[in-house]
Homo-oligomer: A and B are copies of this chain.
Amino acid sequence: MARHVDVGDLVDRARQRQPRAVARLISLVEDASPQLRDVAAALAPHTGRAQVVGLTGSPGVGKSTTTSALVSAYRARGLRVGVLAVDPSSPFSGGALLGDRIRMQDHATDPDVFIRSMATRGHLGGMAWATPQALRVLDAAGFDVVLIETVGVGQSEVDVVALADTTLVLLAPGMGDGIQAAKAGILEIADVFVVNKADRDGAETTVRELKYMISLGRREVRGASWRQPICKTVAARAEGVEEVVAAVAEHRRWTESHGEFAERRRHRARTEVEAIALESLRARLSARHGEALDGLAGKVMAGDLDPYAAADSLIADIKAEG
């Protein structure tokens, strides 16, 4: 039995700041509900206002703690804050782990904070497809700042972070040095660096290496003349968090005055449309053409067919559809 939802009413209620309506809309988006398109259409006129801050780094650098500290800092300014925590889906964890949830409970009773863990369904491009839609929900619901937190070294994560107006890359001493960060490919997506756990041994070494890596890569970094600042924090004690907020604001001003702000948002919209189109095509390949795909895979396995010829055959099937 199809469960009908009055999408227009739900969007109205989300815009009246009802957390349950916001949660319900994100669920519709995340579950790829049949009403997803209605939701997207109803949200569109109300989007474009939220400031989007991406936050990424290797496991263990303290992303959730930093996110929580930033939420507090923005709340202290009277701003409403949404958080999207993008974790790779895990049969082990069922998404986010207990620790983060506990950490985030500082904000659990605050009606002007909305926190959501995004499951990613384990398919290619899952995050690139669902996260921007959840962002649209929070944006339309009037959240002033949306923090997108992601475990960050993979391409999908990088794609998600690329949606942000400003991207924070977190490092921590003893988590591997600057070279490891370069290796993970996250240096070049940073607008602001945060060296967290700065009270630990090795923090100065991490900062020094980072400066060196930045100097090497300078010309390659997007927005050539923006000087990526390095903030030192001890997020667990909220130390240095004001400096991060100031750096984000400074970056926002800089991008606005250099035309990059609109450029990023255009890129975000383009990426989003492209991801949805790809996801739609992917779903057709997997579901509608599952049997054809299995047959082709068998031939490829046996060496009777090469994978490009097999892919051509699949695409021809899609085009032939009514």
Interface residues of chain A: helix, strand, loop or mixed (majority):
helix
Q: Chain B residues near A40 (CB, 8 Å)?
A: 306-309
Count chain A residues whose beta carbon lies closer than 8 angstroms to a beta carbon of B. 100
Q: Are B185 and A90 in contact (CB under 8 A)?
A: yes
Q: Which residue in chain B gives the minimum CB-CB distance to A293?
A: B270
Q: Which residue in chain B gives the minimum CB-CB distance to A217?
A: B92
Indicate whether A44 sits within 8 Å of B155 (C-beta atoms), given known contacts A128-B124, A220-B92: no
Indicate whether A59 sits within 8 Å of B266 (C-beta atoms), given known contacts A91-B217, A282-B274: no
Q: With A and B bound together, what is the CA distance between A93 and B236 in angstroms?
A: 32
Q: Which chain A residues numbered 245 to 280 have a C-beta less than 8 Å away from chain B?
A: 265-270, 272-278, 280
Q: Are A306 and B156 in contact (CB under 8 A)?
A: no
Which among B122, B151, B294, B297 is the interface contact of A153 at CB below 8 angstroms?
Answer: B151
Q: Are B120 and A307 in contact (CB under 8 A)?
A: no
Q: Mark A272-315, 1 if CB is under 8 A from B, else 0.
A: 11111110111001100000011011101111111111111011
Q: Does A228 contact B (CB under 8 A)?
A: no
Q: Are A48 and B315 in contact (CB under 8 A)?
A: no
Q: Chain B interface: which of A14-22, A71-79, A105-113, A172-180? A: A172-180
Some 26 contacts from A to B, beta carbons below 8 A apart, are A44-B306, A48-B302, A58-B59, A59-B180, A60-B177, A87-B185, A92-B182, A97-B179, A120-B155, A124-B156, A124-B278, A127-B155, A132-B307, A151-B153, A154-B156, A155-B155, A266-B294, A266-B298, A266-B301, A269-B297, A273-B300, A273-B307, A274-B314, A276-B311, A277-B315, A278-B278
Q: Are B43 and A159 in contact (CB under 8 A)?
A: no
Nearest CB in chain B: distance from A10 CB, A: 15
Q: Are B276 and A307 in contact (CB under 8 A)?
A: yes
Q: Does A238 contact B (CB under 8 A)?
A: no
Q: Are A124 and B92 in contact (CB under 8 A)?
A: no
Q: With A and B bound together, what is the CA distance between A183 and B157 in angstroms?
A: 14
Q: Does A213 contact B (CB under 8 A)?
A: yes
Q: With A and B bound together, what is the CA distance between A139 and B293 in angstroms?
A: 23
